[in-house]
Amino acid sequence: MNALCTGSFDPITVGHFDLIKRTAALFEGVVVAVTNNSEKKYMFSLEERLGFARSALAPLSNVKVVACDGWVADLAEKEGCDVIVRSARNGGDFDYESPIARLNLEKSGVETLILPADPALSWISSTLVRETIKYGKDYSALLPEGVSLEKKEK
């Protein structure tokens, strides 16, 4: 079985890496889709986010990184993924992910598995990393090994 993990990864964090590493241990193959929503403002371009994800995930031999700008469940089918794997850091994340999971099942027949985040990493988010960058603080411990961001002026 193959799994699809999605996110904007703006940028990828140690929490994302942990989820994908755990998913890679459970499934034969994992496709990581870096999503791109034209209505959302990103700190990093799609190309940068793809590069960060590829650098971070290079040690995981059964993981590939692709771009996604459409319906995630359609990408799962195209990539031969049997399930979408998402993470929940807290109850709010679970409440957000549950209806999306149901919609993907109803409209595309793709199941979603929601894995709880590692409690030690559950406080880390891309938003937090972007704020840390914005204020010129050290963000290196929030990023996976192999990822180096250039601070962007906003």
pLDDT tens-digit map of 100-118: 999 999 999 999 999 999 9
Give 99's contacts (C-beta < 8 A, 6+ positions apart): none
Q: Residue 15 corresponds to which tokens in the numbers above?
A: 């929490």
- The CATH code of domain 2-142 reads 3.40.50.620
Using alpha carbons, list the distances in angstroms from residue 86 to 23, 42, 101, 132, 151.
10, 20, 9, 24, 28
pLDDT given at position 150: 66
40 is a catalytic site residue? yes
Phi then psi dihedrals of residue 150, to 5 deg? -95, 130
Q: pTM of the full predicted structure?
A: 0.92
pLDDT given at position 124: 95
Task: Please pick, among 8, 49, 86, 126, the residue that the annotation labels catalytic.
Answer: 126
108 is a catalytic site residue? no
pLDDT given at position 149: 81
pLDDT given at position 154: 40
Task: Please pick, among 40, 41, 137, 154, the residue that the annotation labels catalytic.
Answer: 40
pLDDT given at position 37: 84
Task: Please pick, among 49, 86, 89, 130, the residue that the annotation labels catalytic.
Answer: 89
73-97 pLDDT, tens per residue?
999 999 999 999 999 999 999 999 9
Residues of the chain where predicted confidence (pLDDT) is lower than 50: 151-154
Q: Could you tell me whether strands 111-116 and 83-88 are parallel, antiparallel, or unpaired per DSSP bridges?
A: parallel
pLDDT given at position 128: 96
- Helix spans in the chain (H): 14-26, 46-57, 72-78, 91-108, 126-134
Q: Residue 119 corresponds to which tokens in the numbers above?
A: 């409690």
64 is a catalytic site residue? no
Task: Please pick, among 16, 49, 86, 130, the residue that the annotation labels catalytic.
Answer: 16
151 is a catalytic site residue? no
